[in-house]
């Protein structure tokens, strides 16, 4: 059964692998945006970018897409290619954010969700909970978990995006799940 039938939220249709797209068949930046922007945003959020920076980082992702799209050769699926760009941009952003924070002696970078005023408390609360849990993970494990469990990539795609052997991706997923399960079990134990 496809993942989309098992979950209440649709993930983008996984497109057939593009084989050496020509200029005529290569999607435009607009098409990539229309189809994938929501998922790029979600990925950026779950990879640990502060709420107030998500729009900036997404913008950087699509500027990179624009720059690189002509060179997209279809060796990987478009979605895999796009997630790889996301990862690079997020990683670069975190490095810059870290440097800024170091220079500014650590003022918090996030001021909370941009649309928090319009969102129900439960949704914001749930988001904070998920993000707090994900923050417990090392970056490499977090990426694997987010791509597999939230974004719905296959493990093969995850390994491809991350650029690691399949076995490594499996190990990271396993470790990430264990860490989060332990954290949740700990929470439960400490609840009155």
Partner 1 sequence: MIDPDDPPRLSATPQDSALGDLLRGAQGDLPSERELAALSLRLGATLGAGAGLTTGGTAARTGGAFAKLAAATVVTVGAVGLWLAHGRPAGVAATSAAAPHASAQESAAASKEVAEPSATSLPAAPDSAAPSVAASAAVSTSKPVMAKSTLAVDEASLLERARRELNANPAAALALTNEHSTRFPNGVLAQEREVIAIAALRKLGRGAEADRRAASFALKYPGSAHARAVSTATQ
The residues that touch partner 1, with contacts defined as CB under 8 A, are 1-3, 6-9, 11, 14, 28-31, 33-34, 37-39, 41-42, 45-46, 52-56, 58-59, 62-63, 66-67, 111-112, 114-119, 123, 126-127, 129-130, 133, 148-150, 152-157, 170, 173, 177, 180-181, 184, 188
Token match 């609360």: residue?
125
The least CB distance from residue 28 to partner 1, in Å, is 5
Q: Residue 15 or residue 139: which is nearer to partner 1 going by CB?
A: 15
The least CB distance from residue 22 to partner 1, in Å, is 14
Q: Residue 3 or residue 140: which is nearer to partner 1 going by CB?
A: 3
Q: Residue 53 or residue 87: which is nearer to partner 1 going by CB?
A: 53
Please say whether the beta carbons of 16 and 10 come within 8 A.
no
The least CB distance from residue 39 to partner 1, in Å, is 8
Q: Residue 29 or residue 91: which is nearer to partner 1 going by CB?
A: 29
The least CB distance from residue 73 to partner 1, in Å, is 19
């Amino acid at each position: 059964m496809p993942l989309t039938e098992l979950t209440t939220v649709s993930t983008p249709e996984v497109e057939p692998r593009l084989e050496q797209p020509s200029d005529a068949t290569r999607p435009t930046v607009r098409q990539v945006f229309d189809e994938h922007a929501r998922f790029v945003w979600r990925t950026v959020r779950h990879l640990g970018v502060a709420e107030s920076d998500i729009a900036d980082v997404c913008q950087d992702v699509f500027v990179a897409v624009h720059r690189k799209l002509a060179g997209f050769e279809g060796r990987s699926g478009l979605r895999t290619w796009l997630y790889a760009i996301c990862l690079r941009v997020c990683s670069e952003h975190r490095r810059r954010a870290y440097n800024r924070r170091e220079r500014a002696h650590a003022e918090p970078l996030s001021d909370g969700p941009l649309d928090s005023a319009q969102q129900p408390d439960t949704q914001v609360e749930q988001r904070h909970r998920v993000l707090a849990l994900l923050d417990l993970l090392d970056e490499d494990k977090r990426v694997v978990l987010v791509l597999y469990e939230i974004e719905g990539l296959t493990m093969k795609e995850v390994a491809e995006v991350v650029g690691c052997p399949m076995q490594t991706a499996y190990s990271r997923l396993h470790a990430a799940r264990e860490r989060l399960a332990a954290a949740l079990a700990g929470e439960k134990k400490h609840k009155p």
